[in-house]
């Protein structure tokens, strides 16, 4: 894609996808604990996160993740993805990001209200407009992230730099699926884990927005070969390493009831350990042969010790 940057004087954005990444209704026991911890006031938390991809010059995929935590009802994370055409200096501005966050808030609250209404017909819908005063701060966070990571992102998010291809086979589909089933279990879905703690420690290394971007790209392997830019390749390998460690350590007993419900047999456990280990070794050898050294991959984490 060849565009004269001097002619890019306006920002064009289009919503191309919106999906619920996570939804958790609070049960009665959890509501009681929350009320006992803060009996005076039940507050609604609205937490933004931002990520972007670079498919072509002066073209961006901007992802606005909005988490709503309403302790009397539920928590939700919704990803709203936009195609944006502009130069980088225009992307990282309030002119662009305020509008994207506003649209993301509206869509997120509409989805949250719809799900809560189905849970409880007495539910009073929340109004996204009541949180519009937060837009500037949300955009500030995204702008800081853009500017802080700009140089690395232009290298490691570029399709022109060492794109790593995962060929679609039965084995790679199996490995990818199992990796993210386990990761979602220890971070979001399995209450037998300390999910708040696990999200805190894992997302301190891999931000939640980057985790979801990588996951959503990887699971497209069901449709065909997957091309991962360098940054997402590193994240995928980190996730697979964590998932493999979970299958080898004390946390396996906590995982088993959940993964067994998905038909994950002992034979499949052995297959995942064998294939996943082989895949990681081959991926790292390929990077080494290309002369690419990634600090994140050289850092070996003891996930069995970190995860609770």
pLDDT tens for each residue of 37-71: 665 556 899 999 999 999 877 789 999 999 999 98
Q: Specify the DSSP element, H or E, that contains 270.
A: helix 266-289
158 beta partners: 54
Q: Which residue has the tokens 């309403």?
A: 70
Q: What is the pLDDT of residue 57?
A: 74
Q: What is the pLDDT of residue 67?
A: 97
For domain 5-156, give the fold.
Answer: Bacterial Protein-export protein SecB (3.10.420)
Q: What is the pLDDT of residue 297?
A: 58
Instruction: Enumerate the domain spans of the chain.
Output: 5-156, 164-306
Q: What is the pLDDT of residue 6?
A: 45
Q: What is the pLDDT of residue 5?
A: 42
Q: What are the Cα distances from residue 264, in Å, to 103, 161, 178, 249, 277?
A: 40, 36, 9, 17, 18
Q: What is the pLDDT of residue 2?
A: 37
Q: What are the Cα distances from residue 103, in Å, to 7, 10, 110, 141?
A: 27, 19, 11, 17
Q: What is the pLDDT of residue 305?
A: 93
> How far apart are alpha carbons 199 and 241 in whole angstroms?
16
Residues (pLDDT < 50) of the chain are 1-8
Q: What is the pLDDT of residue 151?
A: 81
In sequence order, what E strands does 4-150 have? 12-25, 45-56, 59-70, 74-85
Q: What is the pLDDT of residue 163?
A: 83
Per the structure block, which two tokens stand in for 54?
A: 């670079």
């Amino acid at each position: 894609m060849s565009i004269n940057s001097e002619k890019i004087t306006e920002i064009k954005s289009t919503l191309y996808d919106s999906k619920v990444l996570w939804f958790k209704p609070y049960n009665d026991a959890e509501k009681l604990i929350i009320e006992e911890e803060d009996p005076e006031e039940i507050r609604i938390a609205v937490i933004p996160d931002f990520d972007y991809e670079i498919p072509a010059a002066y073209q961006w995929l901007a992802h606005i993740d909005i988490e709503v935590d309403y302790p009397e009802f539920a928590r939700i994370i919704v990803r709203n993805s936009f195609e944006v055409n502009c130069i980088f200096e225009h992307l990282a501005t309030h002119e662009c990001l305020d509008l994207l966050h506003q649209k993301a808030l509206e869509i997120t609250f509409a989805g949250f209200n719809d799900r809560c209404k189905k849970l409880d017909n007495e539910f009073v819908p929340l109004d996204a407009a009541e949180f519009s005063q937060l837009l500037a701060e949300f955009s500030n966070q995204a702008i800081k992230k853009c500017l802080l990571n700009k140089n690395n992102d232009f290298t490691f998010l570029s399709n022109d730099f060492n794109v790593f291809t995962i060929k679609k086979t039965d084995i790679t589909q199996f490995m990818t699926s199992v990796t993210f089933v386990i990761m979602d279990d220890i971070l979001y879905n399995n209450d037998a884990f300390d999910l708040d703690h696990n999200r805190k420690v894992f997302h301190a290394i891999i931000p939640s927005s980057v985790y979801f971007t990588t996951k959503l790209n990887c699971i497209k392997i069901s449709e065909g070969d997957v091309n991962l830019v360098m940054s997402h390749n590193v994240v995928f390998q980190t996730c697979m390493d964590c998932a493999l460690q979970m299958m080898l350590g004390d946390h396996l007993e906590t995982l088993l009831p959940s993964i067994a419900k998905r038909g994950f047999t002992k034979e499949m456990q052995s297959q995942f350990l064998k294939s996943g280990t082989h895949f990681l070794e081959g991926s790292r050898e390929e990077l080494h042969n290309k002369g690419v050294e990634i600090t994140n991959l050289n850092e070996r984490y003891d996930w069995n010790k970190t995860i609770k």
